[in-house]
């Protein structure tokens, strides 16, 4: 997303400390203009320190100030913005110094707003964007180039849909959402009735997609509309790139899902789950709140207890030994039986 | 896809029974307007019943009528549309009551039709769409916003290409196909010749893509053009979202492939196969007709017998035990040898 | 990509041999117009032969000439273009006979070039394309329909961005790159700071993407911008379709990555690596030069030695035996302990 490369006037360390609940160790009237990594920061920059791996960078930094925890304050050679949550404070400081580019309100002449659509005067509608009949863009919405908002859809205040996003008919997108390029929300679910002759009959997909407030959806992600009821993404959920969400899925509030996950239809995922990259979740099952799934896990039955789960990933190794081990996998059950026989021998 | 939210005049149960080969138990002149789930249906709605899990909903439904099999007719408190295939009948009834939005024929002034392209007067070409030189849109084709049809491509009657779909040059798309947003048909295959210095030389991709009739392609799916011959998708095939189909692949008629599958170049997949999510298929191999592949299976050799196959998915478990088991995988071959030694002991 | 279906005037075998360093066995003044597979080539065509599987096709070919290695020259019934690297020579001959369609310079009236952008007069900017403020298109750049080039981005000479590609603000794309439809370069990385209440705070993504020269990026691929520094793709790298590249990743020169790979943030991948389809690479680790990863491998620790590695793929089998074996996986550690106990028995 386009942000200011730096704050033109700058902000003082005193202002930053006050706005972001930090304890300032240093002069409050020093002005900073942007954030930068410890090793590349200069006297106009704020840096942050999280991990001991960067301790040398911290000790040698030329930043005006560093955001870090009390515990490492002694190692900081410059002004310090102290906080128990340096990463969160960094996020807020970066937002202060690199605000999102302000909207340029209006509908570009190369955009198309259908009769009967309601576009608030504060919205920016980029060239090539298309707003369908009866769709509503609330205050402060940004539509990037070639974004499509289907008939009857509603986009909440201050949401930003970036280039080539497609929003299906009747979809509801909450406030302050960000949808990255080429994501598709509200495509038809994969509903196919088998016929006796082996052919398929498409099941009309009549539900829609409801996305809560403060949701972020990654580039190229696809969220299907529901078959009869809606697909629902809870407030504050975070979906990374190239994720598939099948029809009727519910994703709970503040659940974060990394790139490449595939969630089959009608799965229900709880709140505050953390799902790593490439996870697969079978259809029609439930995952309770506060579940962590490691990369590539395939979930084929409901998860009823919070906790960390894994599966489907076996360790990488040199190819010759991997071949031997993988081949043995096919005889694993047999091996078990052989061991049991050995155990029965006296 | 945009459908009518309900049938304005409604259809009588008698008409629905007749059109869809159902046996009506109830009054034939009751008028219904839309489909709905059992639990939310009112007296203007038809619902359907498939699974015993919804038996309580069936008994309590306020629908005007329910589509279900003879076997459960006794549990239905309202009119019944009886059929041995309730899911298929539901699909047809839903089509009757929620028809696709009719086309609004014409080329939008923000669309671009190259000289030498042939667009039938019955087609709808949405804003931002672009039809290349020599391309042909047959009768009743819908191009959504920002769809690109490459030079010389041909789109068959009544096919619908939704927002941001890209169709490559010379591609052939059959009749009544549906291509969901952001799908790409006819991108270059991944043909790269290695040089001695480690660099790659691109192999020109000179084939195209041929898609049969009644094919559905999911959002964000990518089907590469062939290297010299064509990539071919058979009649009635169903591809879900975010699927990769490499160059020269052939997919047989009525084969259905769920989201996230990756099919490498020159694979040949038979007819009526059912391929679950996240499956990988290596290049240059053959899968015969009527093969079922469970989720995440990786196919590395040809499948010559119809049947159900699986692999590459090990069960999910709590992370600590998973770590222990996964680590042992690396010594599985060694374990075999140790068991064999034990067996040889007397 | 659009290429000429054949060379209008044709080229002589003598010219082709000279331009591509082949040894011609046959008449140098025979004219050929296009390439074709051995079995379908006619007297206007050049074919190539690589694999013994096609020996019958070679013996029966009606091509004007065949590109092949000295070793198989005896089997070739027609003129031969002999070379130690037939596949590379074929690539060059195919380029000679099927050149990329020449650009049609100019900015289409349905395209939008922001004030302050610099578009060289030799560029072709297709309908629906949008070039942001301050962006630069160097000589000979092609922007396909509905391509977006963000503010301040720079596209190097002779690069071609195909339909619906989105290039983020400030991105740098080198010379002679090809980006296939719907790829996204420069979307925000997935940076999220957890809060105590379980919600997430978005980390502004302030770096960009730098792509070297001669890079090819597949359809639907997503390359995130860096969080503070840049995501970097080295010269000559080849990325296939639907690949995810997280923020701050570095990919070395001439590394080739097949479809569906997922590379998490801050991973560093060396030069000349060959990464097969569906591989996952965890964040913050390093893979040295000249590493080959087989399909579906998941890399969870750094790879420090060149070589071939595999993992995470167990063999496909009939579903009943697979179920038994997969279930045993959960008790693999236990099995080890049981075998050890047996070994200790005398």
The structure tokens listed for B238 are 């169903």
Note whether A187 contacts B145, CB cutoff 8 Å: no
Note whether C2 contacts B151, CB cutoff 8 Å: yes
- Whether pLDDT at A346 is above 70: no
Q: For A42-71, how does the pLDDT look when each residue is reduced to its tens digit (9 = 90+)?
A: 999 999 999 999 999 999 999 999 999 999
Note whether C322 contacts B310, CB cutoff 8 Å: yes
What is d(CA C286, CA A273) in angstroms, rounded to the nearest whole number?
Answer: 28
Q: What share of chain A is helix, strand, coil (3-state, %, to 5)?
A: 15, 30, 55
346 residues of chain C, pLDDT tens digit each = 999 999 999 999 999 999 999 999 999 999 999 999 999 999 999 999 999 999 999 999 999 999 999 999 999 999 999 999 999 999 999 999 999 989 999 999 999 999 999 999 999 999 999 999 999 999 999 999 999 999 999 999 999 999 999 999 999 999 999 999 999 999 999 999 999 999 999 999 999 999 999 999 999 999 999 999 999 999 999 999 999 999 999 999 999 999 999 999 999 999 999 999 999 999 999 999 999 999 999 999 999 999 999 998 888 999 999 999 999 999 999 999 999 999 998 6
Residue of C247, C250, C254, C284 marked active site: C247
Residue of B247, B250, B254, B284 marked active site: B247
Return residues 216-235 of C near B (CB < 8 Å): 216, 218-220
Q: Are B250 and B228 in contact (CB under 8 A)?
A: no
Residue A260, chain C, CB below 8 Å: the answer is yes
What is d(CA C168, CA B22) in angstroms, rounded to the nearest whole number?
Answer: 55
Distance from the B117 Cα atom to the nearest Cα atom in chain C, whole angstroms: 15
The structure tokens listed for B163 are 């927002």
Q: What is the pLDDT of residue B299?
A: 96
The H-assigned helical ranges of chain A are 13-19, 55-60, 86-97, 319-329, 332-344
What is d(CA C200, CA B289) in angstroms, rounded to the nearest whole number?
Answer: 48
Q: What is the pLDDT of residue C55?
A: 96
The structure tokens listed for A73 are 């304050």
Q: What is the pLDDT of residue A313?
A: 85
Identify the sign of the CA torsion C192, C193, C194, C195: negative
Q: Are B222 and B180 in contact (CB under 8 A)?
A: no
What is d(CA C22, CA C7) in angstroms, rounded to the nearest whole number?
Answer: 20
Distance from the C137 Cα atom to the nearest Cα atom in chain A, whole angstroms: 18
Q: How many CB atoms lie within 10 A of CB A239?
A: 28
- To test the contact with chain B by mutation, choose from A152, A202, A209 the residue with the greatest count of B C-beta atoms within 10 A, namely A202
Helices (H), strands (E): how many in chain B?
A: 5, 40
Q: How far is CA C216 from CA A150, C71, C173, C180, in A?
A: 33, 33, 11, 8
Distance from the C250 Cα atom to the nearest Cα atom in chain B, whole angstroms: 17
Return residues 39-58 of B near C (CB < 8 Å): none
The mean pLDDT of chain B is 96
Return residues 125-184 of B near C (CB < 8 Å): 128, 130, 146, 148, 150-151, 164, 166, 169-170, 182, 184
- Where chain B has pLDDT below 50, the residues are none
Task: Name the residue of chain A whose CA is nearest to C170's CA.
Answer: A2
Q: Are B228 and C36 in contact (CB under 8 A)?
A: yes
Residue B341, chain A, CB below 8 Å: the answer is no
Tell me if residue C247 is catalytic: yes
Going through B231-270 in order, the beta strands assigned E by DSSP cover 231-233, 238-239, 244-245, 250-251, 256-257, 262-263, 268-269
Q: What is the pLDDT of residue B346?
A: 65
Q: State ipTM.
A: 0.96
Distance from the B93 Cα atom to the nearest Cα atom in chain A, whole angstroms: 10
Dihedral class, residue A31 (left if φ above 0, else alpha if ψ from -120 to 50, else beta): beta
Q: For A172-181, how does the pLDDT look when each residue is reduced to its tens digit (9 = 90+)?
A: 999 999 999 9
Q: What is the pLDDT of residue C346?
A: 65
Q: Are C89 and C21 in contact (CB under 8 A)?
A: yes
Q: For A239-261, how does the pLDDT look when each residue is reduced to its tens digit (9 = 90+)?
A: 999 999 999 999 999 999 999 99
Q: What is the DSSP string of C262-280?
A: EE-TT-EE-TT-EE-TT-E
Distance from the A239 Cα atom to the nearest Cα atom in chain C, whole angstroms: 8
- CB-CB neighbors (< 8 A) of A326 in chain C: 310, 313-315
What is d(CA B240, CA B217) in angstroms, rounded to the nearest whole number?
Answer: 6
**C touches which chains (3+ CB pairs under 8 A)?**
A, B
Note whether C313 contacts B329, CB cutoff 8 Å: no
Inter-chain Cβ pairs, chain B and chain C, closer than 8 A = 228
Q: How far is CA C99 from CA C3, C46, C96, in A?
A: 6, 15, 6
């Amino acid at each position: 997303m386009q942000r200011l490369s730096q704050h033109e006037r700058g902000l003082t360390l005193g202002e930053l400390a006050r706005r972001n609940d930090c304890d300032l160790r240093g002069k409050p009237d020093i002005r900073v203009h942007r954030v930068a990594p410890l090793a590349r920061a200069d006297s106009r920059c704020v840096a942050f320190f999280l991990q001991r791996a960067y301790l040398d960078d911290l000790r040698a930094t030329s930043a005006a100030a560093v955001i870090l925890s009390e515990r490492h304050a002694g190692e900081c050679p410059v002004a310090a913005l102290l906080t128990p949550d340096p990463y969160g404070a960094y996020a807020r400081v970066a937002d202060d110094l690199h605000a999102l580019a302000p909207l340029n309100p209006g509908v570009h002449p190369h955009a198309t707003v259908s009769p009967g659509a309601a576009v608030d005067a504060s919205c920016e509608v980029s060239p090539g964007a298309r707003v369908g009949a009866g769709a509503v863009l609330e205050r402060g919405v940004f539509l990037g180039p070639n974004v499509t908002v289907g008939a009857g859809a509603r986009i909440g205040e201050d949401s930003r849909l970036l280039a080539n996003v497609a929003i299906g008919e009747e979809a509801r997108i909450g406030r302050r959402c960000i949808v990255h390029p080429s994501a598709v929300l509200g495509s038809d679910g994969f509903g196919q009735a088998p016929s006796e002759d082996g052919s398929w009959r498409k099941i009309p997909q009549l539900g829609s997609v409801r996305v809560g407030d403060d949701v972020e959806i990654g580039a190229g992600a696809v969220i299907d509309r529901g078959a009869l009821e809606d697909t629902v993404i809870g407030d504050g959920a975070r979906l990374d790139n190239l994720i598939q969400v099948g029809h009727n899925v519910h994703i709970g509030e503040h659940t974060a899902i990394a790139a490449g996950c595939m969630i089959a239809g009608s799965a229900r995922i709880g709140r505050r789950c953390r799902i790593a990259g490439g996870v697969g979740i079978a259809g029609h099952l439930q995952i309770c709140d506060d579940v962590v799934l490691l990369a590539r896990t395939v979930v084929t039955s409901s998860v009823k207890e919070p906790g960390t789960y894994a599966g489907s990933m076996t360790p990488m190794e040199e190819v010759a030994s991997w071949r031997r081990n993988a081949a043995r996998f096919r005889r694993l059950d047999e091996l078990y039986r052989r061991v049991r026989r050995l155990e029965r021998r006296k």
